[in-house]
Chain A
Amino acid sequence: MRGDARRLLADRRAAAGLAILAFAVLAALLAPLLAGDPIAQREIVATRFLPPFATDPLGAFHLLGTDRLGRDVWARLVFGARVSLGVGMLAVLLSVVIGVAVGAAAGFWRGWLGTALLGLTDFALALPRVVLLLLLASLWRPSAGLVILVLGLTGWMPIARLVYAEVRALAARPFVESAVGLGVPGPRILVRHILPNALTPVIVAAALGLGNAILLEAGLSFLGLGVQPPTPSWGNLIASGRDTLVNAPWVAAAPGMALVMVVVAATLLGDAVRDRLDPAANA
């Protein structure tokens, strides 16, 4: 395992991806230390619309400038990272749990249960995800919890398909057949013998899904259907910068760049892990 990790880090994509993600997570965790109190009300008129690297009349330095209420963009960004990364990770966790359960059950108990679960997966895959998100966000009151639930419930299908294929292939292997021959009960075979061997592609799908979930959370919040202001999330930060695009473009630019960096990092990490897991792709 340790050798695997070292070899993975030798891949520049994995190293860069992990470094960026670690930086973002650390910044989110240490937000109060890095940025102080983001809602400390000071003089609004003198501190609003300051460009990046400006020092306001009260002597405070603003790395990324300030918005129309004189709030420090860097502080909003790192506090928004808590929401955006947290929502993204929990949503992916939920879709991994559902996807593994559905995929494993469909691959292990074929017959009517498997057929029904596969049919459900294909149906859910064919739905336009954003349209469904909008529909759900319109029927219930928007909140971070709803976004996690909805993203999780609409993101499990690729993972289910991966796990299904993996479990099916593993179920035909000799070590599983011998477990069956020894009279080990089915659920125990699935959980103890098959699933641990099927989980590696799930890591790839989870890394790629994380980027997607963070993007979608931001999209929903951008449209005002996700995390509600004044709680900052990268999506509603972009939305708040939209109104001041002309006199303060940095307000919308900064959270967007943070978003792109984190999604690129997750994608690079996913690519690197996939190449490492799939020897055929290395040939």
Chain B
Amino acid sequence: MFSLARRALSGLGVVLGVVTLMFALLRLAPGDPALLLVGPAASAEQVAAQRRSLGLDRPIAEQYVSWLGQFVRGDWGTSIATGRPVRTMLAQAWPATVRLVGISLVLSYLIGIAVGVVQAARGGRLDTVLSVATVTLFALPGYWLGLMLVMVFTYQLRLLPAFGAAGFDADFLPPAARLADRLRHLALPLATLTLVGIGGTARFVRGAMLDVAGSPWVTVARAKGLSETRVTLHHVLRNALVPVVTLLGLSLPTLFSGAVFIEAIFAWPGVGRILVEAVQARDYPVVMAATAVSALLVVLGNLLAEALVRWVDPRAR
């Protein structure tokens, strides 16, 4: 329990580091940060006011402390592009990202583990065929796979919607139809993110299974006359799962990164899409806040994985 608290503390350190890094980058970047924050259309008085409110006339250490204070209080300013408070925009966006990434994480691990187990247990030709399939999935750029799926399922088969999380008429549908509408909108982004995830997971599970398969206790289990299925599931998989759960935590930044592209492609109303749109519009307050929120989500996910490892592996407690 103590070390989990220490982990949480170091996670907090990461978020603090990200915010500090952003402070440094904003100072390093070409151009006046005040000018960047108020946008190109601002008058000279507005720039001066922004400079004063940013405290650019004060010493750098004092500037940093007040920047940090504003961030911690959730005082993230207003978006240049939309004029809305940044905090409201992100508060509305993060559940959509967590939903997409969360469901995709569960699906890609369940399917990936199943594929990896079959590969390690069966071997031979099936293993080769599945290896080719998983390495291809692993190499697929999510945004390209997304486009190809849109081409087939939206433009050619006219089966599934390609944009947004709900149809325009969603608010007027009866509950059952509304759910169906949401699921249809979820289908393509979820499939894209999950397919790409399966490749990496299956490759890792296969490797971890083969590592464990040579252990003495597996030989003992076979010598006891246990069935091959039982050996595979109880003695090999159980132990192979420990590094897999660790990977789950480590793969969160990657998965989140993938989600940024997927959200941009499918106009999924999450943090990733807000981030990409803000970057393209040079909407700095939003970029800064979205970066911090992403770091926070990743850190929380890592903590969750850490707790999960403790649950799976008694030695780690």
Contacts and interface: CB of A to CB of B under 8 A. Distances in A.
Interface of A: 122-123, 125-132, 134-140, 211, 215, 218-219, 222-225, 238, 241-242, 245-246, 249, 252-253, 256, 259-260, 263-264, 267-268, 271, 280-281, 283
A48 to B, nearest CB: 19
A205 B117 CA distance: 25
B13 A123 contact: yes
B135 interface: yes
Interface in B23-62: 25-26, 28-30
Given A130-B261, A134-B260, A134-B287, A238 B275 contact: no
A131 to B, nearest CB: 5
Contact of B279 (A123, A129, A225, A280): A225
A133 B282 CA distance: 14
Interface in B223-264: 250, 253-254, 256-258, 260-261, 264
A260 B30 CA distance: 36
B55 to A, nearest CB: 20
A6 to B, nearest CB: 23
Interface stretch (B80-88, B148-156, B163-171, B177-185): B148-156
Interface of B: 10-11, 13-14, 17-18, 22, 25-26, 28-30, 135-136, 138-141, 143-144, 147-148, 150-151, 155, 207, 210-211, 214, 250, 253-254, 256-258, 260-261, 264, 275-276, 278-280, 282, 284, 287, 290-291, 294-295, 298-299, 302
A140 B264 contact: no
Given A131-B260, A222-B143, A256-B148, A139 B25 contact: yes
Contact of B148 (A123, A222, A253): A253
A260 B257 CA distance: 18
Contacts of A215: 139, 141
A136 B275 CA distance: 12
B295 A131 contact: yes
A98 B275 CA distance: 28
Given A130-B257, A219-B141, A138 B211 contact: no
A135 B151 CA distance: 30
Most A Cβ at <10 Å: residue of B250, B254, B260: B260
A225 B282 CA distance: 11
Contacts of A130: 256-258, 260-261
A224 B143 CA distance: 13
Given A123-B13, A135-B22, A245-B147, A260 B136 contact: yes
Most B Cβ at <10 Å: residue of A132, A218, A268: A132
B257 A129 contact: yes
Contacts of B148: 252-253, 256
B206 to A, nearest CB: 11
Nearest to B280: A224
B135 A267 contact: yes
A245 B291 CA distance: 31
A139 B29 contact: yes
Given A224-B280, A246-B155, A238 B147 contact: yes
B94 to A, nearest CB: 14
Nearest to A132: B291
A259 B278 CA distance: 27
A155 to B, nearest CB: 12
A135 B279 contact: yes
A271 B141 CA distance: 19
Nearest to A138: B279
A132 B291 CA distance: 7
Nearest to A133: B257
Contact of A256 (B22, B144, B254, B260): B144
A283 B14 contact: no
Given A252-B147, A256-B148, A131 B291 contact: yes
A233 to B, nearest CB: 13
B231 to A, nearest CB: 18
A267 B17 contact: no
6 contacts: A126-B299, A131-B260, A134-B279, A135-B25, A223-B276, A242-B147
Most A Cβ at <10 Å: residue of B10, B147, B276, B280: B147
Nearest to A255: B144
Contacts of B10: 122
B260 A218 contact: no
B8 to A, nearest CB: 13
Given A242-B147, A252-B144, A134 B276 contact: yes
Given A135-B25, A139-B25, A219-B261, A127 B253 contact: yes
A245 B155 contact: yes
